[in-house]
């Protein structure tokens, strides 16, 4: 069945575009203040394409998700079924809110000026759109107060992971430019900003790890970890943790490189071109690993955590 790959692929696209948009807009404001004069407006072609893609991908995820639940092909779905699922379930309400928030964010980025105001508003709209993701999937399965705690924990996981991805994306892009055209972005202030990012980076990793562990506890109970390894869900989670460990390895390397070059005197270059090229490669590797983590999560959210 084509839906076997289509649904996880769409879920991956939804994570990539939503986390990417929130992360890049929010990190630009909180993590790159020292570099504002070097930055172009956040309404470049790629960002604007992503803002248009976000609501379309959300609609596609919902339609393919409903078809999967009904055991039908997407083309066979009728209007009454779609309306019933969208209007009468929490999942449907979350979908409507997410689509509206993503569309509003796209309109704000395209129309509202000055750019800084539109970025702040759009970042908040995407944060709320990420929040709605916690009302789908495994986080939406628990009920009552534990259910609410699970969803809020999941939303915190998503926001922290998105900021982390935003940081890697920005630093990859800026180091790339500094290597290619040092007159446009001077390496010294960029490496200082990367160095100053270390405490925030550490805090984000801690929040992602803590909320991820709490997520796992809500879903299958940490005490059942060995039993979960009997399922493909468990192995998807193990693979995810392995990729996260590799991401941490890359992050530690960037922190060391930035610490060594931070505060270089104006007379000597902050980092050699070869050093910048290595840093760029390692940042891109971390970004690709983050993509792998999102891909595995897109599959894990559809797998059964317990056998039987
Ligand atoms: C120690 C690190 C981490 C742990 C223990 C962890 C654990 C988890 C768990 C158990 C879930 C629930 C999966 C499900 O629906 O069954 C989850 C969801 C998720 N995680 Fe992580 N994770 C970690 C790091 C990351 C990182 C680094 C990223 C991003 C690069 C990430 C992105 C996500 C996303 C997008 C979701 C889906 C949330 C949703 O759809 O509601 N996680 N994580």
CA-proximal residue: ligand 1, atom 20 (nearest): 297
**How does DSSP classify residue 39?**
P
Q: Is the pLDDT of residue 35 over 90?
A: no
Q: Which of 13, 6, 8, 4 is nearest to 291 (CA)?
A: 13
Compute the average pLDDT of residues 181-189.
90
pLDDT number for residue 91:
94
pLDDT in tens, 110-168: 999 999 999 999 999 999 999 999 999 999 998 899 999 999 999 999 999 999 999 99
To the nearest whole number, what is the mean pLDDT of the chain?
Answer: 94
Compute the average pLDDT of residues 239-265.
91
Q: Is the pLDDT of residue 41 over 80?
A: no
Ligand 1 centroid – CA 62 distance (Å): 20
Helix (H, G, I), strand (E, B) or coil at 102: helix
Beta carbons of 133 and 18 less than 8 angstroms apart = yes
Kindly give the number of the ligand 1 atom that is closest to the alpha carbon of 165: 30
pLDDT in tens, 256-308: 999 988 766 555 677 889 999 999 999 999 999 999 999 999 999 999 998 76
pLDDT number for residue 150:
97
pLDDT number for residue 1:
47
Kindly give the number of the ligand 1 atom that is closest to the alpha carbon of 219: 16
Kindly give the number of the ligand 1 atom that is closest to the alpha carbon of 155: 41
Ligand 1 centroid – CA 215 distance (Å): 8
Helix (H, G, I), strand (E, B) or coil at 142: coil
CA-proximal residue: ligand 1, atom 10 (nearest): 216
């Amino acid at each position: 069945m084509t839906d076997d790959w289509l649904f996880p692929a769409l879920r991956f696209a939804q994570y990539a575009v939503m986390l990417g948009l929130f992360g890049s807009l929010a990190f630009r404001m909180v993590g790159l203040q020292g570099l504002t004069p070097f930055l172009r407006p956040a309404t470049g072609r790629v960002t604007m394409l992503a803002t248009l893609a976000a609501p379309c991908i959300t609609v596609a995820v919902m339609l393919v998700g409903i078809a999967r639940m009904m055991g039908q092909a997407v083309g066979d779905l009728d209007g009454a079924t779609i309306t019933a699922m969208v209007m009468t379930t929490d999942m449907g309400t979350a979908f409507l809110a997410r689509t509206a928030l993503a569309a509003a964010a796209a309109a704000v980025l395209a129309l509202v000026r000055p750019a800084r105001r539109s970025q702040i508003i759009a970042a908040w709209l995407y944060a709320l759109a990420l929040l709605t993701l916690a009302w789908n999937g495994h986080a939406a399965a628990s009920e009552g107060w534990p259910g609410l705690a699970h969803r809020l924990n999941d939303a915190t996981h998503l926001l922290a992971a998105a900021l982390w991805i935003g940081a890697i994306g920005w630093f990859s892009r800026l180091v790339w430019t500094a290597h290619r055209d040092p007159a446009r972005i001077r390496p010294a202030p960029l490496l200082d900003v990367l160095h100053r990012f270390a405490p925030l980076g550490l805090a984000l990793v801690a929040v992602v790890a803590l909320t991820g562990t709490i997520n796992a506890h809500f879903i299958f109970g940490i005490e059942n970890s060995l039993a979960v390894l009997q399922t493909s869900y468990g192995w998807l989670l193990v693979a995810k943790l392995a990729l996260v460990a590799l991401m941490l390895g890359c992050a530690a390397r960037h922190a060391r490189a930035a610490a060594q070059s931070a505060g270089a005197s104006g007379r000597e270059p902050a980092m050699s071109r070869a050093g910048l090229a290595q840093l760029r490669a390692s940042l891109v590797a971390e970004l690709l690993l983050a993509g792998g983590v999102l891909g595995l999560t897109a599959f894990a959210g559809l797998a059964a955590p317990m056998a039987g």
